[in-house]
Structure 1
Amino acid sequence: MSGLVALHHVAIIGSDYDRSKRFYRDVLGLSVIREVYRAERQSWKCDLRVGSAQIELFTFPDSPPRPSRPEALGLRHLAFTVADIDAEVARLAGHGVPCEPVRIDEHTGQRFTFFTDPDGLPLELYEAAS
């Protein structure tokens, strides 16, 4: 039996700290837990709350771009559970963030869509089962 009990955090590296922080805080509505500047690494780190987990937002000078989207090895995308996908799609559109057409997961019957953060990281909205 596994001792894993929950997801603690997901780390994201952005190319522009202020732009990424505005997106995750102001557009997605995540609250800032703390932010620090690490001078020795020339790096900002911002911890943001999403449910019981966190997103760690980093910036580093000269970070390499993601190899391809979305089939590169590694994390494919980050998905957020929402209660009302239509309301969230409309809210994001109000911030100028386009979403793909809403689809139905053929295995669960749940509705979902994709959009991207300012650096093109694929993000998903997944409607909670009703």
Structure 2
Amino acid sequence: MAINFDSMLGIHQHTLGVRTQRAEMIANNIANADTPGYKAKGMEFQQALKQATGGSGNYKLDRTHGDHFSVELKPSGTEKYRVPNQPDTGDGNTVDIQLEQNLYMQNALEYQMSTSFLDARISGVKKAITGGQ
């Protein structure tokens, strides 16, 4: 009997990719905190997750063989500019470093939670296959 990884891993396999993209975006904001004119970017997690799980907006590449991995390109529209919650400092930069650091930490914890869940699921399947040895 074949194992269906999509049903076994659930949504957490997709959340890892979206959380990775979000971490890169937040890290980019932090790196450009002193860049004049830089506009902080963010993403709507639910919209990005919907697109990653097969919702509207995904771009899939055709597979030439049934054993090839499915490849999907990052959908457009998940990246948006943040509305600043602080007054302009005069240089046009909208990065709030404290907010970005908090968001990065929250995203890192949620990423770790997803990896822990996936690890538990994979360990359970491995135990079922090997009989607990």
Please state which band the TM-score falls in when normalised by the shorter chain: under 0.3
- Structure number with greater Rg is 2
Q: Tell me which protein shows more helix as a share of its residues.
A: 2
Which has the bigger relative contact order, CA under 8 A and spacing at least 6? 2
Tell me the TM-score normalized by structure 2.
0.24
**Higher strand proportion (structure 1 or 2):** 1
